[in-house]
Amino acid sequence: MLFSSATFLYLFLPAVLVVYYGLKWSRPLQNLFLLLASLFFYAWGEPRFVRVMALSIAVNWLFGLLADRFRDRPALARAVTALDVVCNLAILFIFKYLGFTGRVLQLLGLDARFPQIALPIGVSFFTFQAMSYVLDVRRGRGRVQKNILNVGLYIAFFPQLIAGPIVRYETVAEEILHRKETWTDVLDGFARFVAGLSKKVLLANHFAVLADEAFSLNALSAGMGWLGAVAYAMQIFFDFSGYSDMAIGLGRMFGFHFLENFNYPYLSASVSDFWRRWHISLGSWFRDYVYIPLGGSRRGPARNALNLLAVWALTGLWHGANFTFLLWGLLHFCAIGAERLLHLDKKERKSVLGWLVTSVFILVGWVLFRADSVSQAAVYLKAMAGANGRLRHR
């Protein structure tokens, strides 16, 4: 069920709001109703994947209890957390990366044929949220939820379930049981939802038409190549930030306050600054749960480079199981590494030249992100450079 669909706008959302506020006298019943509504929302597209969601909720609820119980025994707490991460990543690997792993092994000369399993909607988002719950409980950054229904609400809450933002448990832990809904929140949330819906329907969808046309052409001129890349940059921004706006607005309607996910990223004058403004929830997740635990920048330049490499390879693959996404992540690793090496990330580069260089780099990256294959991206980029060519489509 899409936020922009008539079913959601005229049936699901009004009904959920009416029943939710009709249960205002009982927070437990409100939470139970929101969980059931969220599972119904998720089941609307693929009912069979509700079992995957239920498994994720049960596993992380159990490991959350264990992590809280062993907080005064650090070694056991770390072991419990590590096992939880393994379980969550196993779910993600089976559904998203099993087929890709088979292709990689075949390229290495091994006879490996793994099935391409259908991907549960939003699995990358809710898996990362689920891990955040156990990690934050172990670190004492949020109260453990002994009621499995509350854990389920945190993981499956429909506003951010499909396209984010990735809501960190520590940011909403208190609101699960002690939030306060106000008419100001409801009205502000409604306005934010409408703004996001407008981005999606009026802007993103129209830019998508131009981008799709450019990337589907057999022969591409330089002008059309650049136009298509700019169109896709606008499409992905208005689409993604639009969904984030809608999620933030919907959360406000029910008393939840999600953190911002975008902050004018295309005004950035460096790639490092771009990633402080783009998909903020994903960047902060990798920073706090991967980069810093690996040692961050505290263990010398070589180790810092390896930590950055791991983060950006994983960031690329998080977006999709394809070599194009991996190369896109590695491209950003190279740019951010170069900026750190030259200390450009610590300088206020607000010049027009800095913005222009960053914008061109981001556009080149979006071509890799949008292309069906590395070969198509290479031909497309050659066309942008003035070497007309024919694109290859899968």
Same domain flag for 289 and 307: yes
Domain count within the chain: 2
User: 209-255, pLDDT tens digit by residue?
Assistant: 999 999 998 888 899 999 999 999 999 999 999 999 999 999 999 99
Same domain flag for 146 and 43: yes
The answer to whether position 1 is within a domain reads no
Which structural domain range is residue 368 located in? Answer: 187-390
pTM of the model: 0.93
The answer to whether position 126 is within a domain reads yes
Same domain flag for 163 and 253: no
178 a catalytic residue: no
Kindly state the tokens that stand for 151.
Answer: 């854990």
DSSP letter at 389? E
Catalytic residue among 178, 257, 319, 332: 319
User: 281-311, pLDDT tens digit by residue?
Assistant: 999 999 999 999 998 878 888 888 999 999 9
Query: CA-based angle 150:154:160, to the nearest 5?
Result: 150
- Residues (pLDDT < 70) of the chain are 345-350, 388-394
Q: Which residues contact 101 (CB under 8 A, 6 or more apart)?
A: 93, 112, 114
Q: Which of 118, 149, 179 is the last residue of a domain?
A: 179
The answer to whether position 71 is within a domain reads yes
Q: Which residues of 23-48 are buried (b: 16+ CB within 10 A; e: fewer)?
A: beeeeeebbbbbbbbbbebbebeeee
Kindly state the tokens that stand for 332.
Answer: 């950003």
The answer to whether position 319 is within a domain reads yes
